């Protein structure tokens, strides 16, 4: 996984955490071990390219930009706060603005956002070594740094030196680039190999490095953090910071003759001339700025903004358009996690009955305004790794009755199922106050099914502790996502019945262990995907997880003069007006004629038909 | 003889009755409590009386009656509002008598065509509208009042039991005992009450009794100081000395002689303590550190009202209810203070 991808995924995980009160796990960005001392910045010796390399490229996957897109215009965006530095590593660099810089720093290869196959970025060709840990790359001869220097193989070797240097004060990167990547081998100026520390599945996701300009940095020293705080480092992407006013705004300008303009997957993209980020320190104020036309787009994912606040004059008059774009990207595993070590949940029939007693559909319909969708299982949106057919158990009183009666339980005088003096009463542990309305409705509905829920809201730390120590009955929570499903931590018996592991259901199933071990040891994508789907079936059979909600879409408002391709984004787009992202960004363009027309109409008081576009090209099959 | 009222007390009661504002407030307050005790009959989603196929049912108290009892096709508790419409439409022999407010504090009234909160509506019998989950605001207010008032009375009892015993002992024994407890109280009073509550309620979910215990843990200090002072004064009075000379035990002197003479102070403080107990619980609930959801609570309603300012009926209802309750209690307190004021009977020269 290259620097940019690591960052992007961490960022996604953090956003998800902020949205749903998730607990981030999996790839932990916390310092893991002490940094390795910085390596000497001398260029590595040249080696000879081994024979028999099978070069591959990809010039056949569909393009997703619109050929009708035209260049020009300025996109105005807002930032909640000014970044503390323009460095992308080291202290204070982990702000949300960092992605704007990193996205303009291309990697060797990219991933096609619709087909998920490898596509060229800085490399034109690549090849896999049979050892399972080495990839060879041929660089694009056209590739240039923004300062005009050629991008050479040595710049990738320097990435390793740079990331391992103690002077950048970034222990996590020090560690990652030391432990995961063994070396970069330079064969000539345009041919190189990247070698991972050990064979890993999805090798290409881990070692598609980005280059670092050796000619610019030279030798790093202890002054690095201070010296490079506000430096604009040469990059390889289409835009670069042209000027900035600290605390106020940052302006990006498109490079006049960008070397990537004619690449198959970059053509007709990155269309605006300038991108201006202005600091607006309040979310509501941003909305006001947008309504005044000082910002070009605004995210409407929050129900309040989509349903209520965006009923404004400019929207009614058609000056501002709205889009609801469904994507098909990794969904957080949110739901109710049953503790199988509790007596009640030892019997699978009681687990199934519990699932059938959860009226998630009513909550979605009546509390969440139909804005959320039912999560069918814990790993939706992982492409071939996701099972397309599994459906979560639906609210069904007859099934509850059948299952409970079969298990020998009877409804007590209070209407709750009971057996030998025990009642089907469980405690649900949760953290966010905003989730109370959902749980209150679930509780009332569960009572109809004869199950009593006791709601226990604890503060996040206390709740996390309780759940990790497996002292809960049922935990109401979600996990952050990763590139591929992670099963071992959640479902392997190695992690069951002991505190401080992520197997919070205490799933302890020999069949599951066998599947997970096979999944972890396999290097073949197809086998892994098949095993992944089988594991998801097994999770469903065990029934310790009751999936609840997902938000598989992005909603945005934009002024009428902005145009989007058709379909408006890609399978993995989570912002249709992302100006820089090399995989999903830069698809929109500025329509000067419509801009003129709209401005005139606003002056003259003429109106257009209000436009709300719903794009369900990539809507998941389960919610169609 | 304990039941024979002291002529002084009779005089005080007469004086209290003569202060009309406080006197009537007292009755209103008692009525509110009585009313809240009978809340199940007045504000409930269970019917008061059902007549079905020649039989009478009283579902208010006792176990829930499944829908099948009344010929409906489900096993969970009967939805009496639905049953009433069902029977009224002639789909069964019988009738249903619902309480004036046919909603319980937990029942959610969700609709297919709109999203809560719903505005007050006479026809839906949501007299004060619903909250953000579709629960009746009036029902939440009534049941919330019952919890708040009994919480506050429980807290009062706990605080005064501790405060009066320790305060009396400090005042009566004096000396090292007094000095020791003075220092204890000084340290105690410096503990940040709110932080402790936050810490405790983040570790365990507070129950009714636990919350009283936590609050009493800090609440006994005020009355202790007062009782200490009052006891100090009484101890040197002639009647106490006389009792000591007669050989009365410490217990007897404190309980039979000093305590009855300090009752005036305790009684004067009590109504204000009740008011502050209600406010304390409401603010804890508002901050989310009080009783766990979905317990009906004023603080939680206030929180919702703040988050949904456009649903004015939520915040209006809870603020209105708080003002009425607190004003009533304060009026009672003032009247009691007035009635027990010794100045009326003392002439200073």
List of domains in chain A: 31-254 (3.40.190.10), 280-328+554-623 (3.40.190.10), 333-550 (3.10.105.10)
Residue with tokens 């305060």: B167
Indicate the helix (H) or strand (E) that contains A320: strand A320-326
Q: Which pLDDT score, from 0 to 100, does residue B43 have? A: 93
Kindly tell me if the per-residue pLDDT of B142 is higher than 60.
Answer: yes
The CA distance from A504 to the nearest CA of chain B, in Å, is 19
> Is A471 within 8 Å of chain B by CB?
no
Residue B13 pLDDT: 87
Verdict on whether the full-model pTM lies above 0.80:
no
C-alpha A123/C-alpha A56 separation (Å) is 11
Instruction: Please check the confidence at residue A283 and state whether its pLDDT lies above 90.
Output: no
Q: In 3D, which of A549, A432, A548, A534 has the Cα closest to residue A491?
A: A534
Reported as a single tens digit per residue, the pLDDT across A207-239 is 889 999 999 999 999 999 999 999 999 999 999
**pLDDT confidence of B347, banded at 50, 70, 90?**
low
Q: How far apart are CA B258 and CA B274, in angstroms?
A: 24
pLDDT at position B196 is 84
Most confident of A400-404, B216-220, B294-298: A400-404
CB proximity A462 to B under 8 Å: yes
**Distance between CA atoms of A132 and A332, rounded to whole angstroms?**
30
Lowest mean pLDDT among A23-32, A361-370, B293-302: A23-32
DSSP assignment, residue A201? T
Whole-number average pLDDT of chain A: 89
Mean pLDDT of the A137-143 span: 95
pLDDT in tens, B36-80: 999 999 999 999 999 998 899 999 988 888 888 888 888 888 899
**Cβ contact, residue pair B292, A455, below 8 Å:** yes
Nearest to B108 among A415, A441, A459 (CB): A441
Put simply, the answer to whether A455 touches B133 (Cβ < 8 Å) is no
The pLDDT, as a whole number, for residue B342 is: 66
Residue A397 and residue B133: Cβ atoms within 8 Å?
A: no
CATH fold for domain B7-37+139-345:
MetI-like fold (1.10.3720)
Of A373-382, A506-515, B8-17, B150-159, the one with minimum mean pLDDT is B8-17
Alpha carbons A551 and A478: distance in angstroms, whole number: 13
Residue A414's closest chain B neighbor by CA?
B63
Which chain B residues are Cβ-neighbours of A440 within 8 angstroms? 106, 108, 133, 135, 293-294
Mean pLDDT value across residues A577-584:
94
Q: Are strands B49-52 and B94-97 parallel, antiparallel or unpaired?
A: antiparallel
Nearest CA-CA partner of A514 in A496, A534, A484: A534
Q: How far is B71 from chain A (nearest CA, A)?
A: 16
* For range A519-523, the mean pLDDT: 89
Question: For B293, which residue in chain A has the nearest alpha carbon?
Answer: A455
Least confident of A31-40, A414-423, B41-50: A31-40
d(CA A558, CA A577): 9
Is the Cβ pair A448, B77 closer than 8 Å? yes
Q: Which of A369, A437, A458 sits opposite B202 (nearest CB)?
A: A458
Q: Who wins on pLDDT, B208 or B342? A: B208
What token pair was written down for B73? 């096709």
CB contact under 8 A, B205 and A458: yes
Residues 6+ apart with CB under 8 A from A308: none
Per-residue pLDDT band for A20 (boundaries 50, 70, 90) equals: very low
With an 8 Å Cβ cutoff, are B293 and A414 in contact?
no
pLDDT at A462: 78
More confident site: A44 or B325? B325
Averaged pLDDT for residues A590-608: 95
A415, A443, A461 member nearest B294 (Cβ): A443
Compute the mean pLDDT over every residue in chain B, rounded to the nearest whole number: 88
Nearest to A440 among B74, B205, B294 (CB): B294
The three-state (H, E, C) secondary structure of A464-529, written as one string: HHHHHCCCCCEEEEEECCCCCCCCHHHHCHHHCCCCCCCCCCCCCCHHHHHHHHHHHHCCCHHHHH
Identify which of A441, A447, A457 has the shortest CB distance to residue B133: A441
pLDDT confidence bin for B260, thresholds 50/70/90: confident
Strands of the A239-245 sheet, one edge to the other: A74-79, A274-279, A249-254, A239-245
| Tokens coding B254 | 């404190």
- CB-CB: which of B75, B112, B203 is closest to A401? B75
Say if the Cβ atoms of B77 and A369 lie within 8 Å: no
pLDDT of residue A21: 38
Q: What is the ipTM of this complex?
A: 0.71
Digit-coded pLDDT (tens) for A428-471: 999 887 788 899 999 999 999 999 999 888 877 778 888 988 99
Higher-confidence position of A310 and A354: A354
Work out the minimum CA distance from B2 to partner chain A, whole angstroms.
Answer: 45
| Residue A308: predicted pLDDT | 77
Looking at beta carbons, which residues of chain A come within 8 Å of B66? 411, 415
Listed by start position, the domains of chain B span 7-37+139-345, 45-98
């Amino acid at each position: 996984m290259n620097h940019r991808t690591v960052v992007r995924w961490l960022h996604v995980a953090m956003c998800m955490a902020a949205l749903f009160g998730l607990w981030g796990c999996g790839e932990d960005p916390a310092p893991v071990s002490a940094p390795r001392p910085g390596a000497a910045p001398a260029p590595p010796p040249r080696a000879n390219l081994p024979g028999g390399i099978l070069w591959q490229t990809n010039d056949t996957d569909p393009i997703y930009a619109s050929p009708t897109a035209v260049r020009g215009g300025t996109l105005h965006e807002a930032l909640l706060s000014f970044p503390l530095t323009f460095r992308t590593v080291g202290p204070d660099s982990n702000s949300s603005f960092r992605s704007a810089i990193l996205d303009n720093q291309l990697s060797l290869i990219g991933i096609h956002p619709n087909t998920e196959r490898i596509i060229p970025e800085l490399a034109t060709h690549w090849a896999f070594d049979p050892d399972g840990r080495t990839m060879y790359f041929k660089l694009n001869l056209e590739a240039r740094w923004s300062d005009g220097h050629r991008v050479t193989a040595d710049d990738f070797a320097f990435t390793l030196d740079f990331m391992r240097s103690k002077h950048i004060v970034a222990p996590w990167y020090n560690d990652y680039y030391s432990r995961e990547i063994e070396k970069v081998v330079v064969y000539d100026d345009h041919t190189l190999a990247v070698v991972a520390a050990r064979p890993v599945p999805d090798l290409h996701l881990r070692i598609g490095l980005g280059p670092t300009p050796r000619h610019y940095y030279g030798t790093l020293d202890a002054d690095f953090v201070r010296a490079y705080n506000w430096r604009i480092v040469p990059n390889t992407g289409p835009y670069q910071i042209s000027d900035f006013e600290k605390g106020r705004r940052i302006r990006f300008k498109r490079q006049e003759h960008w070397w990537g303009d004619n690449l198959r997957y970059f053509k007709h993209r990155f269309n605006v001339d300038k991108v201006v980020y202005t600091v607006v320190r309040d979310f509501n104020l941003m909305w006001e700025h947008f309504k005044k036309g000082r910002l070009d787009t605004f995210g409407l994912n929050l129900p309040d903004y989509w349903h209520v606040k965006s009923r404004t004059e400019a929207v009614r008059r058609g000056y501002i358009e709205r889009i609801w774009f469904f994507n098909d990207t990794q969904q957080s595993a949110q739901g109710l996690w049953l503790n199988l070590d509790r007596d009640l949940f030892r019997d699978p029939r009681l687990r199934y009955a519990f699932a059938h007693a959860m009226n998630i559909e009513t909550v979605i319909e009546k509390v969440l305004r139909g804005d959320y969708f039912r999560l069918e299982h814990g790993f939706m949106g992982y492409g071939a790794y996701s099972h397309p057919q599994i459906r979560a158990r639906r609210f069904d009183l007859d099934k509850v009755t059948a299952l409970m009666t079969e298990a020998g339980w009877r409804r007590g005088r209070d209407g709750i199922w009971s057996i030998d003096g025990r009642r089907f009463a469980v405690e649900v542990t949760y953290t966010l106050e905003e989730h109370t309305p959902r749980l209150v409705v679930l509780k009332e509905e569960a009572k109809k099914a004869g199950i009593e829920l006791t709601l226990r809201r604890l503060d996040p730390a206390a709740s996390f502790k309780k759940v990790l120590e497996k002292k809960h009955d049922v935990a109401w929570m979600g996990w952050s996502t990763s590139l591929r499903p992670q099963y071992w931590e959640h479902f392997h018996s190695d992690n069951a019945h002991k505190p401080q592991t992520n197997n919070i259901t205490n799933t302890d199933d020999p069949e599951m262990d066998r599947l997970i071990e096979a999944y972890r040891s396999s290097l073949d994508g197809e086998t892994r995907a098949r095993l992944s789907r089988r594991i998801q079936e097994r999770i469903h059979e065990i029934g310790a997880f009751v999936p609840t909600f997902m938000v598989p879409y992005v909603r945005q408002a934009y002024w009428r003069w902005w145009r989007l391709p058709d379909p408006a984004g890609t399978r993995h787009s989570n912002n249709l007006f992302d100006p820089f992202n090399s995989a999903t960004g830069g698809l929109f363009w500025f329509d000067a004629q419509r801009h003129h027309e709209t401005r005139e109409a606003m002056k003259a008081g003429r109106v257009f038909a209000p436009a709300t576009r719903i794009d369900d090209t990539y809507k998941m099959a389960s919610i169609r | 003889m304990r039941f024979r009222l002291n002529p002084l007390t009779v005089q005080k009661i007469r004086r209290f009755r003569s202060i009309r504002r406080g006197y009537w407030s007292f009755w209103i307050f008692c009525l509110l409590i009585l009313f809240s005790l009978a809340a199940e009959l007045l504000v409930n989603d269970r019917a008061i009386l059902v007549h079905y196929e020649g039989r009478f049912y009283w579902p208010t108290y006792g176990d829930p009656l499944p829908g099948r009892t009344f010929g409906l096709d489900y096993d969970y508790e009967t939805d009496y509002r639905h049953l009433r419409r069902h029977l009224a439409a002639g789909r069964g022999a019988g009738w249903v008598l619902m309480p004036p407010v046919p909603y319980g504090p937990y029942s959610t009234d969700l609709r297919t065509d709109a999203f809560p909160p719903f505005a007050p509506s006479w026809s839906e019998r949501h007299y004060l509208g619903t909250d953000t989950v579709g629960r009746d605001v009036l029902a939440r207010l009534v049941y919330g009042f019952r919890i708040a008032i009994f919480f506050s009375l429980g807290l009062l009892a706990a605080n005064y039991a501790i405060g009066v015993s320790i305060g009396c002992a400090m005042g009566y024994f004096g000396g090292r005992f007094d000095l020791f407890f003075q220092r204890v109280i000084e340290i105690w009073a410096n503990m940040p009450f709110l932080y402790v509550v936050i810490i405790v309620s983040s570790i365990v979910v507070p129950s009714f009794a636990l919350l009283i215990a936590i609050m009493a843990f800090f609440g006994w200090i005020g009355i202790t100081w007062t009782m200490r002072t009052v006891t100090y004064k009484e101890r040197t009075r002639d009647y106490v000395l006389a009792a000591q000379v007669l050989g009365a035990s410490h217990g007897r002197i404190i309980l039979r002689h000093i305590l009855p003479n300090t009752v005036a102070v305790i009684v004067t403080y009590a109504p204000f303590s009740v008011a502050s107990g209600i406010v304390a619980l409401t603010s804890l609930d508002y901050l989310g550190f009080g009783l766990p959801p979905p317990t009906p609570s004023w603080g939680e309603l206030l929180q919702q009202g703040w988050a949904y300012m456009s649903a004015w009926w939520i915040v209006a209802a809870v603020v209105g209810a708080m003002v009425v309750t607190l004003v009533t209690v304060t009026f009672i307190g003032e009247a009691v203070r007035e009635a027990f004021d010794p100045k009326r009977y003392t002439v200073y020269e």
